[in-house]
């Protein structure tokens, strides 16, 4: 009689302890899991950035420079004397920062040899997608050299 | 006096049992015995890493604004700072090299057969942990190379289905590689990985003691005919001679080729020419370079080699449970993987140097086998 009665009691106690233990583990693990995944900090959306003027040394020598568009790197390049272009500088392959090769007139990523043409299209190597294009405007005020303004297209 | 202190300690600690156990420990002698030294060599470099790593922590500051400058200070102002850091870097590379060599020899000698499956699994885990140390330690000087290696390395985690995005953010401590990433990697490198490694390493070493050295199937008859070597003092002294040689090589490498610091990480500069990860990641790096951009059924081509490498890692971990026969398939597969890795590394460097390293290693191992062979009894 005793043995028959104690069986469900044992099952109940096992179940009781099991769920209690499970709950304790869950209350420890959940905050830790949340803690290790970094909070999403909203970045102020940048829509327009002033990137110096047309007399900029880096643009003259190397034909390009990387500008800060908020937290995002953007490549500003001088295709011809009057033709300025800007693209996202983040390679679509594995997140490296691209550069401009003036002599080959192409945008090139040194990490894995990704190649883009001057319209940002991925033309050779591993990149899967084109670079996002940005708009470039030259603003002239009086006799000062024209200012370069980069904005989201 | 010493005898009495010894007796007192022994009564309380039971050291004589350990000494007794040690005196019975033997190592089988056969034509491939030299490979038994490779694990000990890896352990030696690990110990060097622990000591130099703790020393580096005295000056290192894990923040984006200070990390590079603190390493620069350590390299230029702190007495022997250059030596400690160079030894840490060189020893890290040699540790990876010997861990890989140790694994290759164990793989081809089929030492993972029952009852040593768990020894193998812990060994492969240790190799992955070592690679984790290498990857996380790479970022700490906060130089250009570190920055891009980390960008690429963490971006790769993004190809994993469902949890990819979470993993990238978890690794980076945010959406981008930044000072937050540096804090995390520092935590991994000096606390999390060492803690895990210590436990896995102790299990690995304990299992080697409990199960003893495995004799490869091809040498069973030979090992039965030749009397085994006592671990103390014969094998241990040979181990020690190797360690002293390794220490000399480390000192020479650190003195002649001090580890470069490069330029401070610039989050807004293009990757420089010929940028390349450490040699042990070059075969994967080169493979990624060769895969063109494109998509197949919503899967980007670049994800395919990453999945294959992941599957290969898993396969390596599970070898003892999958290799159930005397088929030569596993040996052939191992040779193919080695040829692929060495070939890709040569291609990645556009040089045959990696192949020469393989030859030089073979020569050095033969030389060590010759020096440590047992004389006539």
Which pLDDT belongs to residue A144? 83
**What's the pLDDT tens digit per position in B248-282?**
999 999 999 999 999 999 999 999 988 999 999 99
The per-residue pLDDT of chain B, averaged, comes to 93
Which pLDDT belongs to residue A41? 82
Determine whether the interchain pair A126/B285 forms a contact, defined as Cβ–Cβ distance below 8 Å. no
SS3 A128: coil
Which pLDDT belongs to residue B67? 96
Asked whether residue A11 falls in the same domain as residue A86, the answer is no
Alpha carbon A52 to chain centroid, angstroms: 23
SS3 A32: helix
Chain B closest-CA separation from residue A20 CA (Å) = 28
Determine whether the interchain pair A110/B268 forms a contact, defined as Cβ–Cβ distance below 8 Å. no
Asked whether residue A69 falls in the same domain as residue A139, the answer is yes
Which pLDDT belongs to residue B52? 97
Asked whether residue A34 falls in the same domain as residue A58, the answer is no
B122 within 8 A of B139, measured Cβ to Cβ: no
Number of domains in chain A: 2
Asked whether residue A13 falls in the same domain as residue A54, the answer is no
Decide: residue B309, CB within 10 A, 0-12 exposed, 13-18 middle, 19+ buried: middle
B267 in contact with A, Cβ within 8 Å: yes
For residues B77 and B338, give the distance between their C-alpha atoms in angstroms, rounded to a whole number. Answer: 43
| pTM (2 d.p.) | 0.91
Q: Which two tokens stand for residue B325?
A: 């026969």
Of B71-75, B198-202, B303-307, the one with minimum mean pLDDT is: B303-307
Asked whether residue A25 falls in the same domain as residue A52, the answer is no
Q: Tell me what the mean pLDDT of segment A71-92 comes to.
A: 92
Which of these, B377, B24, B92, B1, lies nearest to B232 by C-alpha position?
Answer: B24
Angle among Cα B214, B217, B220 to the nearest 5 degrees reads: 80
Asked whether residue A32 falls in the same domain as residue A52, the answer is no
Q: Tell me what the mean pLDDT of segment B3-24 comes to.
A: 90
Asked whether residue A61 falls in the same domain as residue A127, the answer is yes
Show the domains of chain B with their CATH numbers: 31-213+231-265+276-371 (1.20.810.10)
DSSP per residue over B110-168, as a string?
Answer: TTTSTT-HHHHHHHHHHHHHHHHHHHHHHHTT-BHHHHHHHHHHHHHGGGSTTTHHHHH
Which pLDDT belongs to residue B202? 97
Chain B closest-CA separation from residue A93 CA (Å) = 8
Asked whether residue A65 falls in the same domain as residue A119, the answer is yes
Chain B closest-CA separation from residue A13 CA (Å) = 34
Find the DSSP H helices in chain B.
2-13, 15-24, 38-57, 67-76, 81-108, 117-139, 144-156, 164-172, 179-187, 193-211, 220-225, 236-256, 282-290, 303-322, 329-349, 353-371
Asked whether residue A128 falls in the same domain as residue A86, the answer is yes
**What's the pLDDT tens digit per position in A93-133?**
999 999 999 899 999 999 999 999 999 999 999 999 999 99
Determine whether the interchain pair B289/A68 forms a contact, defined as Cβ–Cβ distance below 8 Å. no
Per-residue pLDDT for B172 more than 90?
A: yes
Kindly indicate the confidence band of residue A2, based on its pLDDT and cuts at 50, 70 and 90.
Answer: low
A103 in contact with B, Cβ within 8 Å: no
Which pLDDT belongs to residue B252? 95
Kindly indicate the confidence band of residue A82, based on its pLDDT and cuts at 50, 70 and 90.
Answer: confident
Cα radius of gyration rounded to whole Å, chain A: 29
For residues A146 and A144, give the distance between their C-alpha atoms in angstroms, rounded to a whole number. Answer: 6
Kindly indicate the confidence band of residue A57, based on its pLDDT and cuts at 50, 70 and 90.
Answer: confident
**B252: number of Cβ within 10 Å:** 11
Chain A closest-CA separation from residue B146 CA (Å) = 12
Asked whether residue A86 falls in the same domain as residue A118, the answer is yes
Q: Tell me what the mean pLDDT of segment B81-101 comes to.
A: 96
Which pLDDT belongs to residue B328? 85
Determine whether the interchain pair A96/B152 forms a contact, defined as Cβ–Cβ distance below 8 Å. yes
For residues B159 and A122, give the distance between their C-alpha atoms in angstroms, rounded to a whole number. Answer: 20
Find the DSSP H helices in chain A.
2-36, 57-61
For residues B139 and B214, give the distance between their C-alpha atoms in angstroms, rounded to a whole number. Answer: 39
For residues B78 and B219, give the distance between their C-alpha atoms in angstroms, rounded to a whole number. Answer: 52
B297 in contact with A, Cβ within 8 Å: no
Which pLDDT belongs to residue A142? 81
Per-residue pLDDT for B325 more than 80?
A: no
For residues B142 and A87, give the distance between their C-alpha atoms in angstroms, rounded to a whole number. Answer: 26
A136 in contact with B, Cβ within 8 Å: no
Kindly indicate the confidence band of residue A140, based on its pLDDT and cuts at 50, 70 and 90.
Answer: confident
Which pLDDT belongs to residue B326? 67
Asked whether residue A66 falls in the same domain as residue A129, the answer is yes
Which of these, B73, B105, B106, B87, lies nearest to B44 by C-alpha position?
Answer: B87
Give the CATH number, domain containing residue A130. Answer: 2.102.10.10
The per-residue pLDDT of chain A, averaged, comes to 89
Which pLDDT belongs to residue B302? 86
Which pLDDT belongs to residue A4? 58
Domain span including residue A106: 48-152
A129 in contact with B, Cβ within 8 Å: yes
Q: Tell me what the mean pLDDT of segment B307-333 comes to.
A: 91
Q: Which residues, 6+ apart, have CB-to-CB distance to A127 below 8 Å?
A: A91, A92, A93, A109, A114, A115, A116, B293
Which pLDDT belongs to residue A6? 64
Kindly indicate the confidence band of residue B159, based on its pLDDT and cuts at 50, 70 and 90.
Answer: confident
Per-residue pLDDT for B235 more than 90?
A: yes
How many percent of chain B have pLDDT more than 90? Answer: 82
Asked whether residue A102 falls in the same domain as residue A143, the answer is yes
Who has greater pLDDT, B327 or A46?
A46
Q: Which two tokens stand for residue B181?
A: 């990433």
**A44: number of Cβ within 10 Å:** 7
Determine whether the interchain pair B293/A37 forms a contact, defined as Cβ–Cβ distance below 8 Å. no
Residue bearing tokens 């994800």: B303
Q: Tell me what the mean pLDDT of segment B173-178 comes to.
A: 91
């Amino acid at each position: 009689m005793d043995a028959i009665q104690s069986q469900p009691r044992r099952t109940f106690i096992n179940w009781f302890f099991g769920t209690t233990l499970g709950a304790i583990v869950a209350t420890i693990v959940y905050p830790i899991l949340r803690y290790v995944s970094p909070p999403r900090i909203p970045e102020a959306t940048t829509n327009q950035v002033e990137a110096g003027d047309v007399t900029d040394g880096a643009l003259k020598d190397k034909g390009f420079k990387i500008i800060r568009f908020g937290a995002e790197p953007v490549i500003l390049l001088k295709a011809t004397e009057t033709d300025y272009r800007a693209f996202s500088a983040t390679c679509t392959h594995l997140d490296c920062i691209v550069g401009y090769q003036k002599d080959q007139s192409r945008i090139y990523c040194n990490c894995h040899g990704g190649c883009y043409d001057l319209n940002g299209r991925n033309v050779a190597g591993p990149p899967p997608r084109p670079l996002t294009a940005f708009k470039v405007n030259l603003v002239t005020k009086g006799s000062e050299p024209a200012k370069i303004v980069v904005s989201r297209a | 006096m010493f005898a009495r202190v010894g007796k007192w300690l022994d009564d309380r600690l039971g050291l004589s049992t350990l000494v007794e156990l040690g005196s019975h420990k033997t190592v089988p002698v056969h034509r491939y015995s030299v490979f038994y030294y490779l694990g000990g060599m890896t352990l030696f470099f690990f110990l060097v890493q622990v000591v130099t790593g703790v020393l580096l922590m005295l000056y290192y500051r894990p923040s984006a604004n200070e990390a590079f400058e603190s390493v620069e200070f350590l390299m230029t102002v702190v007495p022997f700072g250059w030596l400690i850091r160079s030894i840490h870097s060189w020893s890290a590379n040699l540790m990876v090299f010997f861990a890989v060599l140790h694994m290759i020899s164990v793989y081809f000698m089929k030492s993972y057969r029952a009852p040593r499956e768990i020894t193998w699994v812990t060994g492969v885990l240790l190799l992955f942990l070592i690679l984790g140390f290498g990857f996380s330690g790479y970022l700490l000087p906060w130089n250009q190379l570190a920055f891009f290696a980390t960008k690429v390395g963490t971006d790769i985690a993004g190809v994993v289905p469902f949890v990819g995005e979470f993993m990238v953010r978890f690794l980076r401590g945010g959406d981008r590689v930044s000072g937050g990433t540096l804090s995390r990697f520092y935590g991994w490198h000096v606390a999390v990985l060492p803690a895990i490694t210590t436990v896995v390493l102790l299990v690995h070493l304990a299992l080697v003691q409990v199960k003893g050295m495995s004799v490869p199937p091809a040498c069973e008859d030979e090992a039965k005919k030749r009397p085994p070597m006592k671990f103390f003092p014969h094998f241990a002294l040979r181990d020690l001679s190797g360690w002293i040689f390794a220490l000399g090589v480390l000192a020479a490498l650190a003195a002649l080729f001090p580890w470069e610091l490069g330029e401070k990480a610039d989050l807004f500069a293009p990757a420089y020419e010929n940028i390349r990860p450490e040699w042990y990641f070059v075969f994967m790096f080169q493979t990624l370079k060769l895969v063109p951009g494109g998509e197949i059924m919503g899967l980007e081509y670049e994800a395919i080699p990453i999945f294959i490498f992941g599957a290969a890692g898993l396969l390596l971990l599970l070898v003892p449970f999958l290799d159930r026969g005397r088929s030569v398939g596993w040996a052939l597969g191992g040779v193919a993987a080695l040829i692929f890795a060495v070939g890709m590394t040569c291609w990645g460097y556009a040089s045959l140097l990696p192949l020469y390293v393989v030859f030089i290693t073979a020569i050095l191992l033969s030389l060590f086998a010759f020096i440590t062979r047992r004389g006539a009894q």
